[in-house]
Amino acid sequence: MNLPDGYIDVPPGKQAAVVTSLQMTARPEARPERPADGWTLRRVERPDLDWYRDLYRRVGQDWLWFSRMSMPDDALAAILHAPAVEVYALEVDGMPEGLLELDFREPGECELAFFGLTAAAQGTGAGRWLMNRALERAWAHPITRLWVHTCTFDHPAALSFYRRSGFVPFRQQIEIADDPRLTGALPRDAAPQVPIIERP
């Protein structure tokens, strides 16, 4: 599809992000990590939806993660309770401070569907520790491809972190969606670095 160069208006009430998808086709060497400092990884079987949404919000609200906040209960449960989806919590001294979700529903591959830390865990080395655990668990399955996507609303270091972890970019897209702060999916003060353009 040929798109013209230049600017394209985003309608008021909407947000637009550039989404970059990345992949790896072989397990990379584990990168050096700090020793676990009160960190544990706990698999959460059939997670309670309120528990999941709370952790998802605490990890992603600053970066306008909204898809799971606006998803109906039955649709969210169908994903999280699927046998081929694994949900993990990074716990810091027993408190959930990180989210890891691996989706094996497509045969032969895994999507790193969600990966992130709360503000309290960022900058501690927990991200590298969690990524090493993610790679171990993903490549323990008979897959030939592991992929993830990030966007321009995500943590500023997310894209470079994924590339340092062994992922290679292969696709870019523009995502346009209702601003979740105007729909009520997120509070209005979420992600203050992203301006709200009100509908007239």
Q: What contacts 163, CB < 8 A, 6 or more positions away?
A: 22, 169
Q: Which of 121, 117, 136 is nearest to 29 (CA)?
A: 136
Considering the domain boundaries, does residue 117 fall inside one? yes
Domain that holds residue 47: 14-28+35-183
Q: Strand 85-92 and strand 39-43: pairing?
A: antiparallel
Per the CB < 8 A criterion, the answer to whether 145 and 159 are in contact is no
Q: What is the CATH number of the domain that holds 159?
A: 3.40.630.30
What is the total count of domains within the chain?
1
- What are the structure tokens assigned to 164, written together? 């340092």
Considering the domain boundaries, does residue 141 fall inside one? yes
Per-residue pLDDT tens over the stretch 127-185: 999 999 999 999 999 999 999 999 999 999 999 999 999 999 999 999 999 999 999 99
Q: Strand 95-103 and strand 109-117: pairing?
A: antiparallel
pLDDT at 42: 97
pLDDT at 1: 66
- What DSSP state is assigned to residue 63? G
pLDDT at 35: 85
Considering the domain boundaries, does residue 189 fall inside one? no
Considering the domain boundaries, does residue 75 fall inside one? yes
pLDDT at 30: 86
Considering the domain boundaries, does residue 142 fall inside one? yes
Q: What contacts 56, CB < 8 A, 6 or more positions away?
A: 65, 68, 69, 99, 114
State the chain's mean pLDDT as an integer.
Answer: 95
Confidence band, pLDDT 50/70/90 cuts, at residue 191: very high
Q: What contacts 16, CB < 8 A, 6 or more positions away?
A: 10, 174, 175, 176
Confidence band, pLDDT 50/70/90 cuts, at residue 3: confident
Q: Which of 134, 85, 78 is nearest to 106 (CA)?
A: 85
Q: How far apart are CA 182 and CA 196, in angstroms?
A: 8
Per-residue pLDDT tens over the stretch 115-129: 999 999 999 999 999
Helices (H) and strands (E) in the chain, counts: 5, 7
Per-residue pLDDT tens over the stretch 96-105: 999 999 999 9
Considering the domain boundaries, does residue 59 fall inside one? yes
Identify the bridge partners of residue 114 per DSSP, sorted by sequence position: 101
The mean per-residue pLDDT over the stretch 43-50 comes to 97
Confidence band, pLDDT 50/70/90 cuts, at residue 69: very high
Considering the domain boundaries, does residue 192 fall inside one? no
Considering the domain boundaries, does residue 193 fall inside one? no
